[in-house]
Amino acid sequence: MAFGRNKNRRRQDAAQRNEAVKGAVRSKGPGVLKVLALTLATGLLVWGGVELRRWALQSPRFELAAVSFSGLQRASRVELLRLAALTKGQNLWALDVGALERTMLQHPWVKKVEVTRRFPNRVSVAVTEHVPEALAVLGELYVLDEEGEPFKRVTPGDGLDLPLVTGVDREGYVADPEQARQRFQAALEVARAYTKEAVAGKPERLSEVRMEGRDVTLVAASGQEVRLGEGDSEVKLQRLARVRRELGARGLAAEIIHLDNRARPGWVAVKISSPVSERNGSAKQ
């Protein structure tokens, strides 16, 4: 009887284990199906993406047909297209916009550039050029932009008639570019203020801005020197306009006009260039 009871117990235990296994399969079955379905869907998406990309890279619909430029003044579309090796028929999806921008930035007149793909078959290029404001001698003659940056060497075809900034040499620029740039910026600020007065009073064209330490001297196209000294450039230029009007009314011309008297800022010393008198004259303004 003991043996029979043990045998029945083993049968009951086996039956219970089978039911447990079946229950486990039934409980996990839906999860397995979900995983399989998700894996299949992911595979289909990847395959579809690969096929879509292959079609986009080969479709004539996305072949470059036109390139438009904006902001060009001195750089030309031909030069920029040649630099970027951008030609009709290239696939828009295959274009590396960043590489195109970097290559176009190699053009000396280009300061900023933004390339945009216009699907299905166009590209637009927005260019910001350097604005030339003056020239500087840094071993060779360079063009300064509005930020005081010497961005290119002067070439015969530039056709620039700009004032020359002197007093900053190549060695100084190489040793401390930021300080040199600040001095260029200071020179440009004075030149702009002079031009502003020129619009109102039509004085002589500015030929040179001479930086001597902290002092600034302007040289007109006639060779007349205006020694501004340091600081208060706009006030001194207004005073200069009054002095020139007074000299003109008297039929006189000045070789040198001193506005750099630190002890008496309101005083102006004038060296007359008239052959009648080469002595210095003084007038309080």
Percent of the chain with pLDDT over 90: 62
pLDDT at 279 over 50: no
Q: Cβ distance 191 to 209 under 8 Å?
A: yes
**Chain segment 60-101, per-residue pLDDT in tens:** 999 999 999 999 999 999 999 999 999 999 999 999 999 999
Strands (E), the chain: 66-70, 110-118, 122-129, 132-138, 140-145, 150-153, 164-166, 206-212, 215-220, 225-229, 254-258, 267-272, 280-284
* Global confidence as pTM: 0.75
Q: Is 20 exposed, middle or buried (0-12, 13-18, 19+ CB in 10 A)?
A: exposed
Residue 41 tokens read as 């869907």
The 3-state DSSP class for residue 111 equals: strand
Q: What count of other Cβ atoms lies within 10 Å of the Cβ of residue 8?
A: 10
Q: With cut-offs at 50, 70 and 90, classify the pLDDT of residue 163.
A: very high
The answer for residues whose C-beta is within 8 angstroms of residue 135's C-beta and 6 or more apart is 141, 142, 143, 144, 154, 160, 162, 163, 164, 165
The 3-state DSSP class for residue 283 equals: strand
In angstroms, the CA 134 to CA 6 distance is: 110
Lowest-pLDDT range of 125-134, 154-163, 220-229, 272-281: 272-281
Higher pLDDT, 75 or 265: 75
Residue 178 tokens read as 């930021």
Residue 263: predicted pLDDT: 86
Lowest-pLDDT range of 49-58, 80-89, 178-187: 49-58
Q: What count of other Cβ atoms lies within 10 Å of the Cβ of residue 210?
A: 17
Task: Give the sheet arrangement for strand 225-229, strand by strand.
Answer: 150-153, 140-145, 132-138, 164-166, 206-212, 215-220, 225-229, 254-258, 267-272, 280-284
pLDDT at 124 over 80: yes
Maximal CA-CA distance, the chain: 153
Lowest-pLDDT range of 42-56, 159-173, 186-200: 42-56
**Chain segment 235-245, per-residue pLDDT in tens:** 999 899 899 88
Residue 32 tokens read as 């397995």
Q: Cβ distance 280 to 267 under 8 Å?
A: no
SS (H, E, C) 17-61: HHHHHHHHHHHHHHHHHHHHHHHHHHHHHHHHHHHHHHHHHHCHH
Lowest-pLDDT range of 57-71, 115-129, 271-285: 271-285
- Residue 141, strand partner residues: 137
Residue 67 tokens read as 């390139």
Higher pLDDT, 253 or 32: 253
- Residue 258, strand partner residues: 227, 269
One-letter amino acid identity for 209?
V
Q: With cut-offs at 50, 70 and 90, classify the pLDDT of residue 270.
A: very high
